[in-house]
Structure 1
């Protein structure tokens, strides 16, 4: 190839990347997906057109910076719903890229199905012709595993309190994020277990907790002997690894050990205002004193 042709080749290659940067985005090498087996649509149907439009605009809202997208398109029997959920430590830009890529790939893999879900390493994309907002869904469930532990009894004993803590904190999250991370020490193989649980934030606290209980049950059924596990459901996910896989922004700071500052002394001739928690504290002391008088 001559020098001029080689230069022209590289020029066009760079131009393509600049014009369409998503081509240069890294695709998750361990992708899982599921297409529904109930009900199909034709590629030129109104429902499919609505779905194509919805997926194309799912992650286009740049005002959303908390890693969860949920939108609808169409009316009546042709209405479609879609969600995109990212791991909470992703930047808004990386989250939009992940949701955009996974959602478009899902459309290609499920060309005639009315429902589908795609799991990437850092995000989940999902669509349906039925309302999925605020609806807990644990099926289908998929799993990815790696490594084998040497002491299964100790390993599962260590995981039990970790899972309980993660489930409690994740389900207690707010309307924007329901996620928790934590660690536990596994002595037999001398390493720290890193764990994460996450729910779709549109779920109620109880539904999130129940979804994660189902994920734990799946873990016990298929994967309790593995050191690296991902349990993936439409509404929640669970993951453990030997190395930290989440960003430091998800690690909660330990509570301060120093006592809170004392309130300023009341102005002469006035009574200090009390908060409801302070009043409850004083009333509790009085009640305890009378009970033990």
Structure 2
């Protein structure tokens, strides 16, 4: 019954929009922004609530008591949707109604699965989210467009006018003020200014919002005689009446270059084609000012660690969200390539076991990636610490293994792209507050065609100890390269020992892989669990240990064709031990490759090798 009602409501919504749009006056789109922080699935309760909320907004804007600002809520947590519509103070009821119809239809296509979105038109702003936005003052994201004609004296007059209007809006119950003054130029005519805030915030917050956006105008506007500045809680607009606007976007969010025909170019980022007109990337740019504020000026107190291509900081965005901010080192010779690669790949990938890219910044000489913040940092923090490792009971370890498997299966099989990660290791497995794993760091990843089996490279980038023999020695990349790394990861999770450190066993020093084989021959891998407390844990399962060591050794076979696929691994994890293949001894010994003696440690992070030919 509930599903039938949902379907009927969605059909009604579409019919209602189409019926009213018959007389629409085609409002002009200014910009739109989709947040990739949280997504919903098609035909879900959230989508039903979203359509319901948008229908309510359309009905409200068409009522006889229309005020120009409307809020609606539909559903309850965790599928609640809050929405708001703000029409400009000088817009008629009919134009306001037409604007919400057009905006609703367009934004649900552009932001087809995002739970949070905002769009600005010349007559209105439409915004919705699964978190509280009604009655809340926010200044991010923002968007500014400017004209082409410059006149310094007129610009100074416009600034004075806007300051006057910001003072004036304090006295308005509608939080709206506009005024027209003489520009002193017969060609450019009069100056018209307008400022407006959403209703529901107080006058003080309104003034703060407008002044914050004005600061960006001071920084970006170069004496233009026409400009407009939009935020989620307020907006400002100024023009000389004799000027026909020809807006030029200013990249507070991001503006892609145009070709001669005025259409967005298709950008080629390391062989990955991104349509700038339609791709999510144009909505994910976060200004450098916002990032500097979020990290307290890249303070050492905010520093989480140092990655392969630069430091990582904890930051707090203006909406209160904690984020991890990866700042590309200016000394990195490989950094720009990996930066472009990471952005171009991860904006196309959405999975609960992949870390989410929330935004990026490419301003001045800074190249920055903004990720969701993982409060438990990375897997290596727990595995290698004698105290923290005790927090990883067997149940948590198996949950991490299952999550890693799901994430890698998505990369290899289920996403719209086939991705070979190339650097799977504990430091690239992040853990959220509930210890759920998320694969991260796609700077060295490769895109494969659906039917493509392997690829050769002369530039081998990865971490010694996790690289497969055919990749480390011959530069051959395939999904089986990731499977080899996955096998090493399994051994580390089971044993708590480092892959790139020799293990003392029976009066000899062995690589982790050799140690695992010895253990398999002796006890089917059970003596890899050396912690007696772990074996006494109620969730501990000897059968699962045997299964995981078996799978790990299958992943570490010398010949790629003898390693299982990630889909086969997922099946093995779900099955009992009876149907598993018995592994052969892995014959790739990294100790010999590196010419190490038995007492050596080879803790080497990311490195670049030359393939043998």
Structure 2 equivalent of residue 81 of structure 1 = 82
Aligned counterparts of 2:210 and 2:121: Cα–Cα separation in 1? 19
Matched, 1:165 2:164: yes
Structure 2 equivalent of residue 181 of structure 1 = 178
Question: In structure 2, do the counterparts of structure 1 residues 140 and 41 end up closer, same or farther at CA, with 3 Å as the change threshold?
Answer: same
| Residue 110 (structure 1) shift | 0.5
Aligned counterparts of 2:188 and 2:25: Cα–Cα separation in 1? 33
CA contact (8 A) 1:146 1:227 kept: yes
Aligned counterparts of 1:244 and 1:196: Cα–Cα separation in 2? 16
Deviations 1:37-87 (A, max 9, x none): 211111122112111111122120314321111010001211110000111
Deviations 1:199-243 (A, max 9, x none): 101111011001100121121122242111010111111101111
Select which of 207, 212, 229 maps to 1:209. 207
Aligned counterparts of 1:21 and 1:130: Cα–Cα separation in 2? 29
Deviations 1:13-58 (A, max 9, x none): xxxxxx8351441223343111112111111221121111111221
Structure 2 equivalent of residue 93 of structure 1 = 94
Structure 2 equivalent of residue 25 of structure 1 = 24
* 2:83 match: secondary structure: strand
Structure 2 equivalent of residue 122 of structure 1 = 123
* Unpaired runs of at least 5, structure 1: 1-18, 246-293
| Residue 244 (structure 1) shift | 8.3
CA contact (8 A) 2:182 2:190 kept: yes
Please say which of residues 140-149 and 155-164 is displaced more in the overlay.
155-164
Deviations 1:133-161 (A, max 9, x none): 110111111112113223x2x23432332
Aligned counterparts of 1:63 and 1:74: Cα–Cα separation in 2? 26
Deviations 1:173-224 (A, max 9, x none): 21xx211111344446663211100110111101100110012112112224
Question: In structure 2, do the counterparts of structure 1 residues 90 and 29 end up closer, same or farther at CA, with 3 Å as the change threshold?
Answer: closer
* 1:58 match: secondary structure: helix
Matches of residues 1-293 of structure 1 in structure 2 within 5 Å?
20-61=19-60, 62-150=63-151, 152=152, 154-174=153-173, 177-187=174-184, 191-243=189-241
CA contact (8 A) 1:56 1:104 kept: no
The Cα RMSD (Å) is 2.1
The two structures have a TM-score, normalised by structure 1, of: 0.71
Aligned counterparts of 2:156 and 2:91: Cα–Cα separation in 1? 31
CA contact (8 A) 1:55 1:104 kept: no
The two structures have a TM-score, normalised by structure 2, of: 0.35
Please say which of residues 123-132 and 43-52 is displaced more in the overlay.
43-52
Higher relative CO (CA 8 A, sep ≥ 6), structure 1 or 2?
1
Question: In structure 2, do the counterparts of structure 1 residues 172 and 77 end up closer, same or farther at CA, with 3 Å as the change threshold?
Answer: farther
Question: In structure 2, do the counterparts of structure 1 residues 127 and 23 end up closer, same or farther at CA, with 3 Å as the change threshold?
Answer: same
Q: Aligned pairs, how many? A: 223
> Considering only CA atoms, is the larger Rg found in Structure 1 or Structure 2?
2
* Unpaired runs of at least 5, structure 2: 1-17, 244-613
Question: In structure 2, do the counterparts of structure 1 residues 94 and 42 end up closer, same or farther at CA, with 3 Å as the change threshold?
Answer: same
Aligned counterparts of 1:211 and 1:84: Cα–Cα separation in 2? 17
